[in-house]
A = this chain, B = another copy of it.
Amino acid sequence: MQRFVNDPDYVVEDMLKGFVKAHGDLIVRSETNDRVVQYINAPVEGKVGLVTGGGSGHEPAFLGYVGKNMMDAVAVGEVFSSPSAQAFYDAFMAVDSGKGVACLFGNYAGDNMNVKMAIRKAKKQGVTVKYVTANDDVASSPKETKEKRHGIAGGVFMWKIGGARAALGGDLDEVIASAQKAVDNTRSICVGLEPCAIPAVGHPNFEIADGDMEFGIGHHGEPGINVQKLEPAKDIARKMAKTVIDDMEPEKGSEVAVLVSGLGATPVMELYILYDEIEAYLKEQGLSVYKVLIGDYVTSLDMNGAALTVMKLDDELKELLDYEAESPGIEV
A5 within 8 A of B: yes
Number of copies: 2
Using known A-B contacts A2-B304, A193-B3, A279-B18, determine if residue A268 contacts B272 with beta carbons closer than 8 Å. Answer: no
**Which chain B residue shows the least CB distance to A196?**
B267
Which B residues are CB-close (under 8 A) to A299? 267-269
Indicate which residue in B5, B59, B279, B292 contacts A233 across the interface (CB closer than 8 Å).
B5
Q: Are A5 and B59 in contact (CB under 8 A)?
A: no
Which B residues are CB-close (under 8 A) to A56? 269
Indicate which residue in B3, B269, B289 contacts A270 across the interface (CB closer than 8 Å).
B3
Which B residues are CB-close (under 8 A) to A277? 18
Using known A-B contacts A21-B275, A331-B331, determine if residue A6 contacts B233 with beta carbons closer than 8 Å. Answer: yes
- The answer for the CA separation of A234 and B7 in the assembled complex, in Å, is 10
Considering residues A3, A19, A56, A272, which has the most beta carbons from chain B within 10 angstroms of its beta carbon? Answer: A272
A1-55, CB < 8 A from B: 2-7, 11, 14-19, 21-23
Q: Are A272 and B302 in contact (CB under 8 A)?
A: no
Q: Are B5 and A273 in contact (CB under 8 A)?
A: yes
Considering residues A16, A59, A193, A237, which has the most beta carbons from chain B within 10 angstroms of its beta carbon? Answer: A59
Q: Are A301 and B265 in contact (CB under 8 A)?
A: no
Which B residues are CB-close (under 8 A) to A279? 18, 21-22
29 contacts between A and B (CB under 8 A): A2-B208, A2-B210, A3-B270, A4-B233, A4-B237, A4-B273, A4-B274, A4-B306, A6-B233, A6-B273, A7-B232, A14-B276, A15-B269, A15-B272, A15-B276, A18-B279, A21-B275, A21-B279, A21-B289, A22-B272, A57-B269, A59-B272, A60-B268, A265-B267, A265-B302, A268-B299, A269-B299, A296-B296, A331-B331
